[in-house]
Amino acid sequence: MKKAKKSSKESPWLSFYEEEGISSHLEYPDYSMVDMIIQSAEKWPDNVAYTYYGHKVTYKNFVKKIEKVARALKNYGVKEGDRVTICMPNTPEGITMVYAVNMVGAICNMVHPLSSEKELEYYIKVAESKYVLVFDAVFDKVYKLRDTAQLERIIVVRPSDGLGFLKQRMYKLLHVKKVRLPSNDGRVVLWEDFIANSYFYQGNYHEERGGEDPAIIMYSGGTTGAPKAVLLSNLNINAESICDSAMIRQVTPGATVLSILPLFHCFGLGVCIHTPLCRGMCCALIPAFSHKQFADIIKKNNPNFIVGVPTLFESLINTKLKSDDLESVTAVICGGDALNQTLRNKINRYLEAHGSDAKIRVGYGLTEGSGAVCLSPENTFKDGIIGVPFPDMDFKIVQNDTFKALPAGQEGEICLSGPLVMMGYLGDEAETAQVLRLHDDGKIWLHTGDLGYIGDDGLVYFAQRLKRMIISSGYNIYPTHLESIINSHEAVLTSIVIGIDHPHKGQVPKAFIVLKPGYKAGKKIEREIRELLERNIPIYALPAAYEFRDKLPQTKVGKVAFKELEKEEQTK
């Protein structure tokens, strides 16, 4: 892959590459995702690939587990190009299934376990997925879709499955409550039986796939806020790993990453799982994060890397640790939302006070860009900074609704081009055409919907989003999507949803509702609206508060003035 050399005028951040010893162009082998893991196992067979509640698995054994799951998939009829839905938190079964699906040449459909039943139905149908791997706690939601989604197989994982033998026994003794599974439905199989049946398949299970082949489906709000299926290739995910490794010098074999960000989130899969596994590192898998357990998580795992969103680091600085408990930490990366100077300084002081020399770095990314696409240089921070573009990623700022590039210092839409840009939105050519556009330079550019500018210092700065969005604990929530659901209730005339401050989550949604004449506000209607939302959106996106009003403030052109409501809430 040859590329024309970029000038410092076109790419003013190149001076940072020189200072940090980063190559502006990297090589991207024509591999599948699983090929990268096999290569790691050949280089570092005895390194620990992951730990799960103290249970450790080496790279050579991880590859054996992937092969076993790949044989099981083939035994159950999964073919090249099929879509397998993975509805899991960060567990050994979840990450093993990702690479096993990739090994058989199928495509992973990554779904949040807390998704509503309606969302799950959409995710499964848009991907045309007939196979689902699901955590037992949310099995019932998936099972209800068995006929409407025409599911052929539902593979159920119990919390104890990924533990060692003794810990499995202990778990079963202490947690006697079990999710009841149907005994007479052959479409439902427990993980242990699914694996046992792998021995019946003796044919080929490793399909040859290349970088350009599709590998992962993730979900994003697109430009409208309604869920969109983002199709990512092997190259997209592998390039994320290769670029991460180039940008972060602490990425070294044997280092441990706290894999808290979930595998169904692009930042989680790309940065916290695939990158470490491509470099002989150890993923400390954390299936469910609680700030109350943060101290124990750190003490038990002695991580070298902590990667998270601002709310996670808010939890960190409120965690009681000894002065040397963070001695092992060499890199701290924050993404998912803006990090202000005040919080950044608090985090750095906390790291230093607890034995770490690391300074927090901020990144920027999006699902359509395979996760992270930009990272601040070490020891460099200014308000609004999102950093230096990854190697081979072209950035430019264009005037809104045009392809016209703007000079340094002028604010416009952030556009990206390069190996991290998605293949497109699955089954939605119109939406794909809105965001992937051919410019006069002959390149396809991803229009991010985010406003920013390139500073005179060569760094990229974030300003604001073109579309309304609330970020809660790192998850994107789109107010317009919630409003469309609320407005579908027969009693609602109009509504507006805004983000309000929350001490742990950053922000949470609040809904302001105007009812039609003849309807009276009260607990009954509020409950009906809440239940309507619960059927259509995940738990984390539900409004934390509802307020009924006779009317909503309007702008001069007749639109709801949501900024006035935001100001009201800030003054309360």
Q: Which long-range contacts (CB under 8 A, 24 or more apart) does 317-322 make?
A: 317/346, 317/347, 317/350, 318/291, 319/291, 319/294, 319/295, 320/295, 321/295, 321/354, 322/354
The whole-model pTM stands at 0.86
Q: Collect the ranges in the chain with pLDDT lower than 70.
A: 1-10, 160-179, 222-225, 465-466, 555-559
The three-class DSSP label of residue 377 is coil
Q: Give per-residue pLDDT as tens, 503-519.
A: 878 889 999 999 988 89
Distance CA 568, CA 272 (A): 38
173 residue type, one letter: L
Residue-range domains of the chain with CATH: 470-570 (3.30.300.30)
Cβ-based neighbour number of residue 246 at 10 Å: 19
Which pair of tokens denotes residue 389? Answer: 């573009």
Q: What's the pLDDT score for residue 263?
A: 95
Q: Give per-residue pLDDT as tens, 203-216.
A: 999 999 999 999 99
Q: What's the pLDDT score for residue 571?
A: 79
Q: State the virtual CA torsion across 143, 145, 149, 152 in degrees, nearest 10.
A: 10
Q: What's the pLDDT score for residue 220?
A: 87
Q: What's the pLDDT score for residue 132?
A: 98
